[in-house]
Amino acid sequence: MDDLVAGADGRPRCGWCGTDPLYVAYHDDEWGRPVTDDTRLFEKLCLEGFQAGLSWITILRKREAFRSAFAGFDLPTVAAFGEDDVERLLGDAGIVRHRGKITAAISNAERAIALIEEVGSLSDHVWSFAPDAATRAAPSVLGDIPATTPESTALSKDLKKRGWRFVGPTTVYAFMQSMGIVDDHLAGCWVRAELPG
């Protein structure tokens, strides 16, 4: 995999997105762009959990089916899912049918509501773990990008202490990258030049 690739538009972008139009659009329009909406943050934490052991493109291709199956990741609705919903989700070929991940998403919705009641918002809480952007150099090559960081490990431990599941340090770091809590676009990637920081 090349570190930077030029798309059909001639723009240099991070090589992990390849040339798949869906992946390129995700890289250009979403990945690394700051998100503060609690529903979108919860959705991404869930989808990163479902992604464990799979490729992100697999989840990305199923994202609309996940959104439909999980009521747009509306926290109160998902938190109220019962065993009938679990069985419905296990029968839904449009999503990843893994009982542990499904029940974790439901339980995590309950945990997210409790966290919001405690601290005000999921956004404020997860963003409080953001590293100091001024101290982070832009990665030059894909090999410069870590799988975990002290911040992702700390957020993972915090969420696990609160009862969240499928939120290991690697999963949490992927979440932090995608939600713009960290900027891991490579130096030279056209998106990096557009981002704040």
**66-76 confidence digits (pLDDT tens):** 999 999 999 99
Catalytic residue among 23, 31, 43, 48: 48
Report whether pLDDT(38) > 70. Answer: yes
Report whether pLDDT(39) > 80. Answer: yes
The pLDDT score that the predictor gives to residue 90 is: 98
Cα torsion through 42, 43, 48, 54, rounded to 10: 160
Report whether pLDDT(2) > 70. Answer: yes
Q: Say if CB 69 and CB 92 are below 8 A apart.
A: yes
Active site residue 190: no
Report whether pLDDT(197) > 70. Answer: no
Catalytic residue among 30, 56, 110, 127: 56
The pLDDT score that the predictor gives to residue 159 is: 98
Active site residue 87: no
The pLDDT score that the predictor gives to residue 1 is: 63
Residue 196: pLDDT band with limits 50, 70, 90:
confident
**86-137 confidence digits (pLDDT tens):** 999 999 999 999 999 999 999 999 999 999 999 999 999 999 999 988 788 8
User: What's the whole-model pTM score?
Assistant: 0.96
Active site residue 110: no
What's the whole-number average pLDDT of the chain? 95
DSSP string, the chain: --SEEE-TT--EEEGGGTT-HHHHHHHHHTTTS----HHHHHHHHHHHHHHTTS-HHHHHHHHHHHHHHTGGG-HHHHHT--HHHHHHHHT-TTS---HHHHHHHHHHHHHHHHHHHHHS-HHHHHHTT---GGG-PPPSSGGGS-S--HHHHHHHHHHHHTT--S--HHHHHHHHHHTTSS--PPTT-HHHHHS--
Greater confidence (58 vs 8) lies with: 58
Please give the CATH architecture assigned to the domain spanning 36-180. Answer: Orthogonal Bundle (1.10)
Greater confidence (196 vs 184) lies with: 184
Q: Say if CB 44 and CB 71 are below 8 A apart.
A: no
Give mean pLDDT, residues 138-160: 96
Domain ranges (residues) in the chain: 36-180
